[in-house]
Amino acid sequence: MTTTNPLLDFSGLPRFDAVCPEHVTPAIAELLAENRALLARLEKAPATWADFAAPFFDGSERLSRAWGIVGHLHAVMDVPEWREAYNANLPEVTRFFAELGQNQKLFAQFKALKASPGYAQLSAAQQRIV
């Protein structure tokens, strides 16, 4: 599905004209599964930018970007098919981001990164992010 679903194409600008409501559920399900697996690995990863923070932000960016496209198309093309696709996936996306914001293991990883000697080597932007 990755090669044919425009919601999973992160190579350039969003392909709004190619996205259809039937692309939403498979793409969001795939990205949620990827992110959940990634988070399970990151909870045990070394608390460094390269091993923890960068993969965390890259993974969540892919999901956010795809869901942003869905949200935009839902807002500008108010037809039953888009409403159904959006509303069918909204609870799972909301649940994922709510769980993400309250994940104590990830919070501990960010605290460990900030307390590590490597923190001083991060750029000012990376330090602000942490």
Query: Average pLDDT in the 111-116 region?
Result: 96
Condensed to tens digits (0 to 9), the pLDDT of residues 86-95 reads 999 999 999 9
Distance CA 8, CA 15 (A): 10
Alpha-carbon distance of 93 to 55, in angstroms, equals 19
Q: Write down the domain spans for the chain.
A: 21-129
For residues 70 and 95, the answer to whether their CB atoms sit within 8 Å is no
Name the pTM for this structure: 0.88
pLDDT band at residue 78 using 50, 70 and 90 as cut-offs: confident
pLDDT digits (tens, 9 = 90+) for 28-77: 999 999 999 999 999 999 999 999 999 999 999 999 999 999 999 999 99
- Residue 74 CA to residue 11 CA, distance in Å, equals 22
d(CA 113, CA 35): 20
Q: Which residue from 58, 66, 65 is spatially nearest to 39, judged by alpha carbons? A: 58
